[in-house]
């Protein structure tokens, strides 16, 4: 499970978030919800981009077994010299030889069995454990610098400019941790990177048998490949790709082609003239880029694509589609209802707000992707927010991760209902007319309140307890409702006295 901790980061004084299949941020405006969502977007992109999905047959003369298992390699990092040095002594070679012989003696599988054998890190011989530890540590150090650059790109600012104003002189600190395997990576706006607590005791490695006498060099290439594949497997996160839908998406969507044309028309002047172009954060630029790459001829997995159809039938009573193909020209987004086509700028704000969500689900989102949506309830009537929450539950059932920032108690209440319906029997669940893929396990939800006080500047992130009995707490909205009710009672009393 990936955790992100921040100190003195934008509007946030301090806090920790553990990413779950569904992560929800609530809190007042300017409390740091979007700030942290953008940071998580940068982290997810960095982790996902550094691993290469490379399914292939492994069948080489030096290997005694072959496998069709997908391999996860580290794309930009070779096995460090320090790791190879740990394998060079004759004693290390003999320990590895004895270990391989023991594995072969214990394994009675057919040599053509399609999957690799997974072994615990603690079962590796000491030289291999040491080499793997070194490899992961050096990879984390490389990752820290890649992440620093991605954070600056996504925020459109130097990392030294990200500290809050309310604690002058103190740098921002970002810590990224994982429980499987256990590690922590810490970045500071002052320029320091530290990788601490790298603990591989719980990790598992893919084992491909190899003959350590297969070549004259030592460490042999099969052994080095084992280290590379094991390090990639250990450090791999479950997120394969992340998409970010900003709160201003409807306005951007109505002007994305104009933005693209402006950039293209000015690009020939690069290096010749002082270009003055509108500045976009990396997260917004990615949203524009993803929109421009939408292809009407390419749809995602059928079960996920059907969720886009559910949103169209249940909320907008029409369809959002792409006119043309991105292979030829920028796609034109249109809304169709009762046989009539409308350009997006001529539609209701509800349609233009939901259009990117529908299009991304239909054309971009796949299982194990992470979708970050700021204020998904924008411009939606409370009645429309209910099927939107149900669509999110359906995405979760297809292994799509979600991170939502919201100001809507209606959306939160509907998500709560879907959590509370999950432990019910199928018979009882049918009474509420929810399909099996619309219930949400409480253990899959992480809810966080960005809490501000008058006494101290900045917000503190507080985790809200989520249970299958109570769902997601709505204390933040309840306080506002109670305040409005109390004021209404006082106004009634004042009116009665005035009479």
What's the pLDDT tens digit per position in 114-142? 445 667 778 889 998 899 888 888 888 87
pLDDT of 446: 96
Tokens matching residue 221: 């290439």
Split at pLDDT 50, 70, 90, the class of 200 is: confident
> Residue 109 class from Cβ within 10 Å (0-12 exposed, 13-18 middle, 19+ buried)?
exposed
- Report how far apart, in Å, the C-alpha atoms of 159 and of each of 42, 145, 189, 246, 361 are: 12, 12, 5, 21, 32
pLDDT of 255 > 80? The answer is no
Q: What is the Cα–Cα distance from 196 to 252, expressed in whole angstroms?
A: 41
Q: Lowest-confidence range among 15-29, 256-270, 433-447?
A: 256-270
Place of tokens 């984390």: 140
Kindly report the average pLDDT of the chain as a whole number. 79
Report the sign of the C-alpha dihedral through residues 86, 90, 91, 92, in that order: positive
pLDDT of residue 260: 55
pLDDT digits (tens, 9 = 90+) for 439-469: 999 999 999 999 987 777 789 999 999 999 9
Highest mean pLDDT among 64-73, 319-328, 395-404: 395-404
182-188/369-374 β-pairing = unpaired
Q: Specify whether the CB–CB gap between 143 and 76 falls below 8 A.
A: no
Q: Which of 65-74, 262-271, 452-461 has the highest mean pLDDT?
A: 452-461
Q: How confident is the model at residue 487 (pLDDT cuts 50, 70, 90)?
A: confident
pTM value? 0.83
Query: Which pLDDT belongs to residue 61?
Result: 31
373-390 mean pLDDT: 94
Greater model confidence, 389 or 132: 389
- Provide the pLDDT for residue 22: 97
Which pLDDT does position 374 carry in this prediction?
95
Name the pairing type of β-strands 117-120 and 71-74: unpaired
C-alpha span between 246 and 287 (Å, rounded): 8
- Judged against a pLDDT cut of 60, whether residue 295 lies above it is answered with yes
């Amino acid at each position: 499970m990936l955790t992100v901790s921040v100190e003195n980061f934008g509007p946030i004084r301090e806090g920790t978030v553990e990413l779950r299949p569904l992560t929800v941020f609530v809190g007042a405006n300017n409390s740091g919800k979007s700030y942290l969502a953008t940071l998580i977007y940068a982290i997810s992109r960095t982790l996902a981009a550094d691993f290469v999905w490379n399914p292939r047959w492994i069948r080489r003369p030096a290997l005694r077994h072959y496998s069709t298992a997908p391999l996860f390699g580290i794309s930009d990092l070779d096995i460090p010299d320090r790791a190879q040095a740990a394998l060079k002594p004759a004693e290390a070679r003999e320990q590895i030889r004895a270990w391989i012989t023991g594995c072969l003696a214990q394994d009675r599988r057919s040599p053509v069995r399609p999957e690799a054998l997974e072994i615990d890190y603690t079962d590796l011989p000491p030289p291999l454990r040491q080499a793997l530890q070194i490899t992961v540590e050096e990879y984390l150090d490389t990752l820290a610098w890649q992440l620093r650059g991605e954070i600056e790109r996504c925020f459109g600012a130097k990392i030294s400019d990200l500290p809050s104003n309310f604690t002058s002189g103190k740098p921002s600190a970002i810590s990224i941790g994982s429980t499987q395997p256990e590690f922590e990576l810490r970045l500071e706006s002052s320029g320091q990177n530290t990788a601490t607590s790298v603990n591989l005791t719980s990790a598992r490695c893919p084992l491909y048998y190899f003959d350590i006498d297969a070549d004259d060099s030592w460490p042999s290439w099969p052994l080095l490949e084992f280290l590379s594949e094991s390090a990639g497997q250990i450090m791999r996160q479950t997120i394969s790709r992340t998409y970010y839908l900003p709160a201003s998406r409807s306005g951007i969507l109505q002007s994305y082609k104009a933005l693209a044309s402006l950039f293209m028309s000015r690009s020939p002047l690069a290096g010749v003239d002082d270009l003055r172009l509108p500045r976009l954060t990396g997260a917004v630029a990615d949203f524009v880029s993803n929109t421009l790459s939408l292809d009407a001829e390419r749809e995602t997995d059928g079960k996920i694509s059907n969720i886009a159809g559910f949103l169209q039938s249940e909320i907008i009573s029409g369809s959002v589609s792409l006119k043309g193909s991105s292979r030829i020209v920028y796609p034109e987004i249109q809304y169709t209802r009762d046989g009539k086509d409308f350009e997006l700028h001529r539609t209701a704000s509800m349609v233009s707000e939901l259009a990117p969500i529908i299009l991304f689900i239909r054309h971009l989102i796949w299982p194990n992707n992470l979708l970050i949506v700021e204020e998904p309830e924008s411009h939606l009537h409370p009645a429309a927010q209910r099927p939107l929450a149900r669509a999110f539950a359906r995405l979760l059932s297809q292994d799509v991760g979600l991170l939502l920032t919201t100001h809507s108690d209606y959306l939160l209440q509907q998500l709560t209902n879907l959590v509370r319906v999950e432990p019910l029997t199928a018979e009882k669940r049918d009474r509420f007319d929810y399909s099996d893929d619309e219930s949400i396990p409480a253990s899959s939800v992480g809810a966080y309140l960005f809490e501000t006080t008058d006494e101290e500047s900045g917000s503190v992130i507080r985790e809200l307890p989520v249970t299958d009995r109570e769902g997601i707490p709505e204390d933040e909205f309840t306080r506002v409702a109670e305040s409005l009710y109390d004021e209404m009672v006082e106004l009634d009393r004042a009116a009665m006295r005035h009479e």
